Amino acid sequence: DAGVTQSPTHLIKTRGQQVTLRCSPISGHKSVSWYQQVLGQGPQFIFQYYEKEERGRGNFPDRFSARQFPNYSSELNVNALLLGDSALYLCASSSLGKSYEQYFGPGTRLTVT
């Protein structure tokens, strides 16, 4: 079975632009979480969606938004990009609404110049 997939792999944007990152969970998983990992730090929680509903939000500004589709795939949108948004964006899926055993995708490397 395929694992969690994310697209694109790499992305370069300029300040002020908007970006959309995509994630497909493992087949049968209904929960998707998004994390931001800045170089040298651990991942920071952004959102969790379960059954298309937002279950939790981390300490990120409103420029960050997400949604989950009927097929449980998800998109993360970031508006008005800042240099500090440069990071690896990780998507994780799990079969339950709880955080038990989340499986991470390969991530999208976003560079803001």
Three-class secondary structure assignment of 70-101: CCCCEEEEECCCCHHHCEEEEEEEECCCCCCC
Total Cβ atoms within 10 A of residue 51: 11
Residue (35 or 72) nearer to another protein, CB? 35
Separation CA 80–CA 59 (nearest Å): 17
State the DSSP code for 53: E
* Part of the chain binding another protein (CB under 8 A), chosen from 8-16, 17-25, 55-63, 70-78: 55-63
Which 74-113 positions form the footprint of another protein (CB under 8 A)? 90, 97-107
User: How many Cα atoms within 13 Å fall on the side-chain side of residue 44?
Assistant: 12
- To another protein, the closest distance from the beta carbon of 64 in angstroms equals 14
Per CB under 8 A, does 43 bind another protein? yes
- To another protein, the closest distance from the beta carbon of 103 in angstroms equals 7
Q: Where do contacts with another protein occur on this chain (CB under 8 A)?
A: 33, 35, 40-45, 48, 50, 55-56, 58, 90, 97-107
